[in-house]
Amino acid sequence: MSAGRTTRSAYRAIDANANRCREGLRVAEDYARFILDNERLAGALKNLRHSVTAAVREVGSDASIVASRDTESDVGTRITLAPEVRRAGEEDILKSALKRSEEALRVLEEFTKLVSPANALRFQDIRYRLYTVEQELLSTWLPWRRLSSASLYFVLAPAAGSSVDIERTVRGAVEGGVDIVGFAESSVPDDRFLHDASLVRDACAAAGVPCIIASRPDVAVAVDADGVHLGPGDMSLDAARRVAGNARAVGISVTDAGSALKAQEAGATYVSIGVCWDFDVPVDTGCLERAAAELTVPWFAAGGIEVEDVPGILAAGATRIVVGKAISIADDPARAAAAFRKALAL
């Protein structure tokens, strides 16, 4: 094959795969933008898309690459597999787009070696960057999907020396309509915490409700909980993520909207605004108004919330709440939870 024909064939492959890659990245970008409402990840994917365009221009001019295009005689345009015309759901759209882009980047890397070897590694670098974004996208999607539709988060935080019936309380709360159960227990030995956390996790699993463990990502992993919640004095989000893994939610408690925005930028799956583990502290509704205007991750109003407080919290812009003692110390946790569920629906 002549050098000229080799170059034209390589340019055809580069043209087709550059388009395929950018199309896949744009689908993923719009997923992050419109489904996840995640500005940071959408921006990262947009940057990758522009990086592909810049790298292609280093290989050859736009005119020379486009001139090699021959869509009518491209045999690949007539090959369509059944799975390509169907998508099982939103996650399937995301995964398909990412894999399409990754495969296209590998093709770009290989064919660029024929015409511009020095630039081949640029596509390899973009592919590796995409792997990192893919991991974060999927780790965000899994817990995000469960949290995005939740509105009533119950935290069971037994006081030291209390004799709360953990299983009965969790079962009642779930029966009453809570969407998530968190568990916090301080001043107890690790083996006791692990035992009690297992009881909570088992009760949640039986009901199909996510279980979040406070402060201890190692315990969340040990009992196979759905996530970990971090408060003041706990390890950093990055450290918790390394311990808990990417498939688990990592939530953070903050006391003001500015800190909530920083937690969102750092990659928190969700944020609770207020003093999440001290249920005697009232909710700051002024803080909620700013959060409603600026946050895109799921967020919850937290504090000493009683049923009569819910209308004011909703009026301030919150759609999700964290409730503790009002359910945990109630004679009938199911009835107490149901009262909150009713208030949230008004």
pLDDT digits (tens, 9 = 90+) for 147-183: 778 999 999 998 766 778 999 999 999 999 999 999 9
Token digits of residue 35: 């489904």
Delineate the domains of the chain, giving CATH numbers in brackets: 3-144 (1.20.1260), 149-345 (3.20.20.70)
More confident residue, 285 or 310: 310
CA–CA dist 304, 275 (Å, integer): 8
Instruction: Choose among 284, 156, 172: nearest CA to 225.
Output: 156
Q: Could you tell me what percent of the chain has a pLDDT over 90?
A: 64
Q: What is the pLDDT of residue 277?
A: 47
Alpha carbons within 13 A on the beta-carbon side of 188: 18
Q: What is the pLDDT of residue 284?
A: 75
Give the chain's end-to-end CA distance (angstroms, integer): 73
pLDDT digits (tens, 9 = 90+) for 64-106: 887 887 766 666 665 655 555 667 677 789 999 999 999 999 9
Q: What is the pLDDT of residue 77?
A: 60
Average pLDDT of the chain is: 88
* pLDDT above 60 (res 1): no
* pLDDT above 60 (res 185): yes
Taking the whole predicted model, whether its pTM rises above 0.85 is answered as no
CA–CA dist 271, 252 (Å, integer): 5
Task: Tell me what the mean pLDDT of segment 301-325 comes to.
Answer: 93
Least confident of 65-69, 139-143, 145-149, 229-233: 139-143
Q: What is the pLDDT of residue 323?
A: 95
| 211 alpha carbon, distance to own chain's centre | 16
Q: What is the pLDDT of residue 102?
A: 97
pLDDT digits (tens, 9 = 90+) for 46-60: 999 999 999 999 998
pLDDT tier at 62, thresholds 50, 70, 90: confident
CA–CA dist 278, 172 (Å, integer): 22
* pLDDT above 90 (res 37): no
Task: Tell me what the mean pLDDT of segment 306-327 comes to.
Answer: 94
**Could you count the other beta carbons within 10 Å of the beta carbon of residue 321?**
24
pLDDT digits (tens, 9 = 90+) for 198-227: 999 999 999 989 999 999 999 999 999 999
Q: What is the pLDDT of residue 4?
A: 63
Burial classification of residue 132, based on how many CB atoms lie within 10 Å of its CB (0-12 exposed, 13-18 middle, 19 or more buried) = exposed
Instruction: Choose among 337, 165, 184: nearest CA to 272.
Output: 184
Under DSSP, is residue 296 helix (H, G, I), strand (E, B) or coil?
coil
CA–CA dist 313, 319 (Å, integer): 8
Helices 166-176/333-345 angle, 10° precision: 30
